[in-house]
C-alpha cells in the first residue's frame, strides 16, 4: 500500500532539527533552550510513536508500505519501503534514541542546540536508512548517519575526541567509498539501483565491496580500529546509541542486500558458499579477538567498546549461516544487543556522572551509594554474558541451535567467547561496584532521575525479552524475517531445556575459572598491564592489536607522499597529465572487471 507514513518518520525529525537550529540557537539562555528542546523532543516522541505504531499495525496485517517523494527526479527521489524487518529495526532504534534523549537532559550540559539537533538528524537518518527502497537512498541516509555521528563523537572538542572523530570519519568514509563503488558497478551493469542489484550482479567484486563496506560500518575485525577510540571519546549517551544502533546499520545492510546470496533455502552457488565462509569467519574472529582485548582493558568505556566488536561477531555468525535459525538468532541478538549494550553504556555513564572516574583503578565499593545503577548494570552484564533469564540468553540459545549442524568448532567458539565475556564482566562489576571503597568516592551519590529512568526501562526490557523469549521469537522475529526465509524450524526452538542449563553452567564455571586464573597470573586487573618484552602475553597483545598495522600503513603512506612531493615538478601540465593517465587506468580497470 502507498502511504506518507514512512516519509513523515524521516522528514519530521529532520525538519525539527532545523527548527532547533533556526529558532532556539542564540535567542535564549541555556535553561530556556533546554525547556524548548524538551518540548520538541516530546513532540517528536509522540509523533514517531504514533507513526511507527500505525505502520506496525499495517505490517502485521500483511501489507508492505511504500512511500515516494519527488519520483520525477529519479533515481534521486525519496523512495521508501516498510516491511517486517525494517519496522522492527526502526522501532528498536526509536526506543533507544528516546532513552538516550531523556538521559541526555541531565547528562549533557554544554552546546545543547548543536547536540539535540544532531540527535534529531540521526533519528531521521536512521529511519531513512532502514526504510530505503533502493541502493541510492540507502547510501545517502547511511552517510547522513555517519556525518551526524562524527559531530556527536567530537562533542567535547578535546584533543582525544577530535582524534577519535578523525579516525572514525576516515574509516567510515572508506567503507562508504566501497559501498558507493559497488552501487556504481551495479548501475553500470543493470541500469538500476534496486536493492536486488547486489545479489543479481554478475560481477563477483560487487558483493565483496558492499560486504567489506558494511564490515567497516559494523566494526568487524580487522576493520574495527575506529570503534575502541570513538566510544571513550564520545559522551556516554552517544556511545550508547553508537554501540546500540549505529554499528547495527552495517549488519542490517548485509541482511537486506547480501543475505539472499547466503540463503541456503535458495539454490546454492560456489560464490554464495564462499561468502558464507567469509561472513562466518569474520564473525568468529571478531567474537574471540573482541572479547580477549576487552578482558585486559582498564577503561570501562573502552572495555565495553571491545565487547561491542565481540557481540557483533555473534550477529554476523548467525547471518553467515544462511539458515532461518541463523538469521533469526542474528536478528534477535541484534535487537537484544541494542538494549543491553545501550544499558551498559548508560550505566557506566551514570558511574562517571556520580564519581567523575572511569578507570577501574579509581573505582570500587559503589554498590551502597548507587544501588539502582549497580542493579541495572548487573542485569545488563548477565544479559550480555548469556545467563538466563535475560534476553542475551534467549538470542544466544537460538544461535546455538542454529550452529548444531555446522560442526564442533563454531559451538566451541561461542562457548569460549561467552565464558570470557562472563569473566570480563566479573572484573567490571567487581572492581566498579564491590571491593574496597575509595576515599575520593565517599561523596558519590545516585545520578538524577532522568538518567536512572531510561536505565530502569531498558533493564526491564532485558528481563522481558528473556522471560518471554518464545513469544518474542515466534511473534516478532519470525514475522520480521518471513520475507527472507521460510521460518519452519524456528517454532521448534526450546529455551528451558537440560542442554541450555548445561551450557549456562559451563559458561559460569569457565568464566569464574578464567577470571581467577588470569587474576592470579597477573594478566588482568585494575591497572593497565605492561607485559615484559618478549613474553607470551606481550606478543599476544602486540599481534591482536590490529591498530599497529594501520599505523605502519599510515607511516608508509606519509613517507610515500613526501617522496612524491620531493620529485614533483610543480608543473601544472605534468600534474594534469598524471590525472588524465590515472583516470584512463581506472576506466580500463573497471572495464576488465565488468567484462
State pLDDT tens for residues 560-576: 767 766 666 666 677 77
How would residue 592 be classed by pLDDT, with cut points 50, 70 and 90? low
249, 306 Cβ separation under 8 angstroms: no
For 63-72, 231-240, 296-305, 343-352, which range has the lowest pLDDT when averaged over its residues?
Answer: 63-72
Q: Give the confidence band of 508 by pLDDT, cuts at 50, 70, 90.
A: very high
The predicted structure's pLDDT at residue 479: 85
Cell of 6: 514512512
- For 511, residues 6+ apart whose C-beta sits below 8 A from its C-beta are 385, 418, 419, 420, 421, 422, 423, 426
- Cβ–Cβ < 8 Å for 220, 313: yes
pLDDT single digits (tens) 390-403: 999 999 999 998 88
Question: What pLDDT sits at residue 352?
Answer: 92
CA 100, chain centre distance (Å) = 15
- Over residues 98-153, the pLDDT tens digits come to 999 999 999 988 888 889 999 999 999 999 999 998 888 899 999 999 999 999 99
Average pLDDT over residues 45-65: 90
Return d(Cα 443, Cα 449) in angstroms, integer: 18
Cβ-proximal residues to 481 (8 Å cutoff; 6+ apart), any chain? 84, 85, 324, 327, 328, 331, 487
pLDDT reading at 192 higher than 70: yes
| C-alpha triplet 67, 183, 271: angle, nearest 5° | 115
pLDDT at residue 511, rounded to an integer:
92
236's grid cell: 556516554
Task: Quote the mean pLDDT of the chain.
Answer: 85
Which residues fall within 8 angstroms of residue 456, CB to CB, at 6 or more apart?
372, 376
pLDDT of residue 541: 59
What per-residue confidence (pLDDT) applies to 589?
74
The answer to whether 424 and 295 are in contact (CB under 8 A) is yes
* In the predicted structure, residue 241 carries a pLDDT above the cut 60: yes
Query: Residues of the chain with pLDDT > 70: what percent?
Result: 87
> Model-level pTM?
0.88
What does the domain layout of the chain look like in residue ranges? 1-179+229-246, 247-530, 546-594
Quote the DSSP letter at residue 488. Answer: S
The pLDDT, as a whole number, for residue 283 is 93
Highest average pLDDT, of 78-87, 202-211, 260-269, comes from 78-87
pLDDT for position 285: 93
Pairing type for strands 78-82 and 65-69 reads antiparallel
At residue 476, does pLDDT exceed 80? yes
pLDDT at 387: 92
The DSSP secondary-structure symbol of 132 reads B
pLDDT for res 265: 57
Residue 537 has pLDDT above 70, yes or no: no
Q: Above 90 in pLDDT, residue 540? A: no
pLDDT at 569: 62
Amino acid at each position: 500500500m502507498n502511504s506518507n507514513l514512512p516519509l513523515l518518520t524521516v522528514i519530521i525529525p529532520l525538519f525539527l532539527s532545523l527548527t532547533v537550529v533556526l529558532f532556539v540557537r542564540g535567542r535564549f539562555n541555556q535553561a530556556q533552550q533546554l525547556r524548548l528542546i524538551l518540548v520538541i523532543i516530546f513532540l517528536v516522541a509522540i509523533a514517531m510513536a504514533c507513526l511507527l505504531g500505525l505502520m506496525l499495525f499495517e505490517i502485521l496485517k500483511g501489507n508492505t508500505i511504500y512511500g515516494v517523494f519527488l519520483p520525477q527526479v529519479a533515481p534521486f527521489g525519496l523512495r521508501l519501503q516498510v516491511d517486517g524487518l525494517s519496522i522492527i529495526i526502526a522501532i528498536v532504534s526509536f526506543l533507544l534514541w528516546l532513552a538516550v534523549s531523556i538521559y541526555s537532559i541531565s547528562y549533557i550540559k554544554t552546546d545543547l542546540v548543536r547536540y539535540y539537533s544532531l540527535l534529531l538528524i540521526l533519528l531521521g537518518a536512521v529511519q531513512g536508512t532502514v526504510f530505503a527502497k533502493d541502493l541510492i537512498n540507502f547510501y545517502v541516509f547511511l552517510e547522513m548517519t555517519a556525518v551526524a555521528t562524527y559531530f556527536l563523537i567530537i562533542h567535547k572538542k578535546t584533543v582525544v575526541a577530535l582524534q577519535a572523530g578523525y579516525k572514525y570519519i576516515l574509516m567510515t568514509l572508506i567503507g562508504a567509498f566501497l559501498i558507493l563503488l559497488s552501487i556504481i558497478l551495479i548501475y553500470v551493469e543493470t541500469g538500476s539501483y534496486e536493492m536486488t542489484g547486489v545479489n543479481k550482479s554478475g560481477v563477483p567484486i560487487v558483493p565483496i565491496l558492499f560486504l567489506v563496506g558494511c564490515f567497516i560500518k559494523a566494526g568487524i575485525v580487522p576493520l574495527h580500529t575506529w570503534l575502541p577510540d570513538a566510544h571513550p571519546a564520545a559522551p556516554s549517551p552517544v556511545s550508547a546509541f553508537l554501540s546500540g544502533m549505529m554499528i547495527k546499520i552495517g549488519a542490517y545492510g548485509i541482511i537486506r542486500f547480501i543475505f539472499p546470496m547466503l540463503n541456503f533455502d535458495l539454490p546454492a552457488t560456489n560464490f554464495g558458499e564462499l561468502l558464507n565462509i567469509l561472513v562466518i569467519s569474520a564473525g568468529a574472529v571478531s567474537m574471540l579477538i573482541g572479547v580477549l582485548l576487552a578482558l585486559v582493558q582498564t577503561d570501562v568505556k573502552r572495555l565495553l567498546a571491545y565487547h561491542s566488536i565481540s557481540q557483533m561477531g555473534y550477529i554476523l555468525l548467525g547471518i553467515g549461516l544462511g539458515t532461518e535459525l541463523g538469521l533469526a538468532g542474528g536478528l534477535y541478538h541484534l535487537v537484544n544487543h541494542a538494549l543491553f549494550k545501550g544499558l551498559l553504556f548508560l550505566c557506566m555513564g551514570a558511574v562517571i556522572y556520580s564519581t567523575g572516574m572511569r578507570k577501574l583503578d579509581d573505582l570500587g565499593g559503589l554498590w551502597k551509594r548507587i544501588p539502582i545503577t549497580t542493579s541495572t548494570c548487573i542485569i545488563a552484564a548477565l544479559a550480555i554474558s548469556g545467563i538466563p533469564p535475560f534476553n542475551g540468553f534467549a538470542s544466544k540459545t537460538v544461535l546455538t541451535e542454529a550452529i548444531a549442524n555446522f560442526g564442533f568448532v563454531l559451538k566451541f567458539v561461542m562457548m569460549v567467547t561467552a565464558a570470557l565475556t562472563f569473566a570480563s564482566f566479573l572484573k567490571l562489576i567487581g572492581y566498579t561496584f564491590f571491593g574496597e571503597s575509595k576515599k575520593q568516592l565517599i561523596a558519590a551519590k545516585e545520578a538524577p532521575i532522568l538518567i536512572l529512568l531510561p536505565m530502569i526501562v531498558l533493564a526491564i526490557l532485558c528481563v522481558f525479552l528473556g522471560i518471554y523469549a518464545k513469544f518474542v521469537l515466534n511473534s516478532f522475529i519470525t514475522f520480521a524475517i518471513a520475507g527472507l526465509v521460510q521460518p519452519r524450524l524456528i517454532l521448534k526452538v526450546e529455551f528451558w531445556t537440560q542442554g541450555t542449563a548445561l551450557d549456562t553452567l559451563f559458561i559460569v564455571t569457565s568464566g569464574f575459572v578464567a577470571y581467577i586464573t588470569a587474576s592470579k597470573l597477573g594478566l588482568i586487573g585494575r591497572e593497565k598491564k605492561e607485559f615484559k618484552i618478549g613474553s607470551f602475553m606481550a606478543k599476544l597483545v602486540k599481534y591482536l592489536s590490529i591498530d599497529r598495522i594501520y599505523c605502519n600503513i599510515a607511516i608508509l603512506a606519509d613517507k610515500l607522499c613526501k617522496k612524491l612531493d620531493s620529485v614533483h615538478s610543480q608543473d601544472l601540465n605534468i600534474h594534469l597529465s598524471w590525472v588524465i593517465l590515472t583516470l584512463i587506468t581506472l576506466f580500463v580497470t573497471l572495464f576488465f572487471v565488468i567484462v
